[in-house]
Structure 1
């Protein structure tokens, strides 16, 4: 029927049903009563039906052109057999299914079923005479109605099955597409995470190494050899830190926070920054029971803010303060540098990556700055730790060279 494919398995059953029906009809033609002195037209009709079916009629289930060539023969057989031997009207048992399986539209199948009934009735009238008209009309009416009812019902079942198959195919395709989208999103997210981690760790370490190398070269050119030892020590420490962070990132971890917590990591960050740049950093960072992800996010905020101080601020001092406000924890980094117009979008990746990282953690970032007044970077994130963070703060620690 309409767009309903017939599978190879179903075709096999139809072939077997056709063979069985033809064989049984041939037996009926042999033993059944016939008003004709000879029954060769019935056997000829069965032979033609069988040969044409074997030659191309079996293709009619899938090929409309073959069906158009075969069905007229089946209709002719539906007339010839009842006309020779009335009991061979049994052949309708295969002619009706052939019509419904090889015609593409339900309307055409109903019309052809009526034609089969009329031809069979005409054949019965030829063999039985006018006295059998009432019985013939009743029998063929029941046959046609039953065939149409069964055909429409089976067509509906097949259509629903095809719709279900199509929906399942669409669902599988959608699931595959969604899985591919998730994989792509995961790859993109991981790349962005690695880019942020590299920017906030290894890139910052390397920037510090470059600055220290420039200062060491300047000391060497000015014959300040007494400073080279300290410069080289800081260079070695920075290189080791970069190496450790690289190994941590390769191991798919989050570099920077050791087992002693965020407060100690911020103090170490301030000390290193002071040793590398000569800019004193005051760190107020008490020990807090934060989960590791929150600690990493806030440490990255401190790293990025101090990296901007080193690269752009031309500051003489900076402050880093960790504070708690209810269910949120914040980090404030302030410098007394030249400042900038915070309303103008920056071209770098640092602040944008910082805001993306905070957004993923459910946090916010505020940058306050105007030219000549310094810069304040303040980030807040949910504590994410149990129990809640204490509200007090530790004494301010000054980190100097």
Structure 2
């Protein structure tokens, strides 16, 4: 049967063996027509039919394997050849070797192919009767009956194989399409995840440093207006440190794809973070922390928690004192940040992103975050991270190093 699918392989390449078979069969049929026995003195009808069939095949019949209109124009010539050639020279009934395949290869529907196969057999039998007379009736019917039955059986089997092949081809195409769709979805998910990671990193580092710089600049302007040069000098020193910290965090984010060794520890970073907060806000921060066995990525997560909590204290708490405690237990590490400020109601939704990002970061690392607060009674943020927790997807590659790098803060000032 003619393949229904559209393929990128050129038609002449896919059907080249059919073209060769057609040419060889027609050449042999011509030889038989010239030298074979014929009851007629002139054989020009056979020569004419062979010539017309060859020319028509070369012109448009070869396209009938893929184009139904070409097949519809060529197959009537096949029926004419099935009748005329055996009628002129009985041995040219050999031409059925190519006529039957042409029918099955150029027709889409099995029923139509069977009917045309029967028509070729009947016309060939009529042609043989014309050339051989009624004495050859039994042998003619036997030969043509076997030819028709064999052609239908072979054509039906080949058609089923072709249908199965087409079904498998379609399944392969569907599988490839599904794989491509899955790859696109994974790529899109990866892009979205990376954007979320970068958003958290910027939120937890550079953005808060810039917010701190803005706050320090405002205070420096007030010191200048109040003619307090000693306080102004201190403000400018802290402002310079904040700017350097923001620059360092920017470089860390740019190079986040290549994790390297770090010269700092979580305990040291927490101590410097508390000192920095005290210098910037005047609110004393008491840090109780010692080095533990957490890996670098887990330490970065806890450092970000501390930065976010202190950022909220600075922006909202109006507290007089803050405590930061790092506890290493056998199966987990607990970081607790408590202030005695104005507090808030955790059940009331806020417009900030800080606490939500904090919870997401801990969840990615396999940890938990509990925020306890009531209006007027301060706030306590407790982050728990299992020892040996899996590497978080959004963690930076290393802890900030250097004398001022731990001063990185997290979220914009309105982070709750």
Task: Return the TM-score normalized by structure 2.
Answer: 0.87
Give the drift of 1:181: 2.5
Of the three residues 129, 132, 136, the one matched with 2:136 is 132
Is 1:120 the counterpart of 2:116? The answer is: no
Worse-superposed segment, 50-59 or 223-232:
223-232
- 1:220-243 CA-to-partner distances (Å, cap 9, x unmatched) read 333333322322222222221111
Of the three residues 269, 292, 309, the one matched with 1:305 is 309
Cα pair 1:364 1:380 within 8 Å, conserved:
yes
Is 1:351 the counterpart of 2:355? The answer is: yes
Is 1:376 the counterpart of 2:377? The answer is: no
Of the three residues 35, 38, 56, the one matched with 1:52 is 56
Quote the Cα distance in structure 1 between the aligned partners of 2:38 and 2:257: 93
Is 1:12 the counterpart of 2:16? The answer is: yes
Quote the Cα distance in structure 1 between the aligned partners of 2:389 and 2:381: 23
**Structure 1's 81 and 160: CA in aligned 2 closer, same or farther, altered over 3 A?**
same
Quote the Cα distance in structure 2 between the aligned partners of 1:253 and 1:233: 32
1:29 corresponds to which residue?
A: 33
Gaps of 5+ in 1: 387-401
1:3 corresponds to which residue?
A: 4
1:320 corresponds to which residue?
A: 324
Is 1:249 the counterpart of 2:253? The answer is: yes
**Structure 1's 339 and 103: CA in aligned 2 closer, same or farther, altered over 3 A?**
same
Quote the Cα distance in structure 1 between the aligned partners of 2:193 and 2:217: 35
Cα pair 1:367 1:377 within 8 Å, conserved:
yes
Quote the Cα distance in structure 1 between the aligned partners of 2:137 and 2:320: 117
Cα pair 2:86 2:93 within 8 Å, conserved:
yes
Task: Return the TM-score normalized by structure 1.
Answer: 0.90
Cα pair 1:274 1:280 within 8 Å, conserved:
yes
Matched ranges for 1:1-400 at <5 A: 1=2, 3-4=4-5, 7-252=11-256, 258-384=262-388
- 1:116-140 CA-to-partner distances (Å, cap 9, x unmatched) read 1111112112222222222222211
Gaps of 5+ in 2: 391-416
**Structure 1's 8 and 50: CA in aligned 2 closer, same or farther, altered over 3 A?**
closer
Greater relative contact order, per chain length (Cα 8 Å cut-off, separation 6+): 2
Cα pair 1:35 1:85 within 8 Å, conserved:
yes
Q: Aligned with 1:341: secondary structure?
A: coil
Quote the Cα distance in structure 1 between the aligned partners of 2:18 and 2:258: 66
Give the drift of 1:350: 0.9
Give the drift of 1:281: 1.3
